[in-house]
């Protein structure tokens, strides 16, 4: 699993890490039952603090995408399948908005209003 963060980004490192994992779940690269790498391994590999990785994992847990269990680690939940389907739906919506000549800001605003 390839995870990248940009230390120069204005986005917090934990948010970048959570976004990268969320994208892998939405793209189907991570599926229900898959284990995320141990937080210590990710922290060591990226050169970040262990708590940064744990914060990202907790954010994904709060969203229902992973289950955190002591001794078992972080495991992708069944919600991953829903996220993958939603990603496809959003891609189709984006294509339709482009065909209609709608700006990304307008399309995003409509989606936010619908939520």
User: In total, how many domains does the chain have?
Assistant: 1
Query: What is the rounded CA–CA span in Å between residue 68 and residue 55?
Result: 12
pLDDT in tens, 3-25: 889 989 999 999 999 999 999 98
Does residue 1 form part of some domain? no
Tokens 């940009």 label which residue?
Answer: 6
Closest CA to 68 of 78, 57, 79, 82: 57
Q: What is the pTM of this model?
A: 0.75
Does residue 95 form part of some domain? yes
Whole-number pLDDT of residue 115: 83
Query: What is the rounded CA–CA span in Å between residue 70 and residue 81?
Result: 24
Q: What is the CATH number of the domain that holds 46?
A: 1.10.10.10
Whole-number pLDDT of residue 112: 86
Whole-number pLDDT of residue 91: 86
pLDDT in tens, 33-91: 999 999 999 999 999 999 999 999 999 999 999 999 888 889 999 987 887 788 788 88
Does residue 84 form part of some domain? yes
Per residue in 87-112, is it b (16+ CB within 10 Å) or e — as a string? Answer: beeeeeeeeebeeeeeeeeebeeeee
């Amino acid at each position: 699993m390839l995870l990248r963060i940009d230390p120069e980004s204005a986005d917090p490192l934990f948010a970048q890490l959570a976004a990268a994992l969320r994208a892998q779940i939405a793209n189907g690269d991570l599926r229900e039952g898959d284990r995320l790498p141990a937080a210590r391994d990710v922290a060591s590999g990226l050169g970040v603090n262990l708590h940064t990785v744990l914060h990202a994992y907790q954010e994904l847990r709060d969203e229902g995408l992973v289950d955190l269990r002591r001794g078992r680690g972080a495991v992708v939940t069944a919600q991953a399948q829903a996220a993958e389907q939603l990603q496809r739906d959003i891609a189709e919506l984006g294509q339709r908005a482009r065909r209609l000549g709608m700006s990304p800001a307008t399309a995003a605003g409509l989606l936010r209003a619908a939520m």
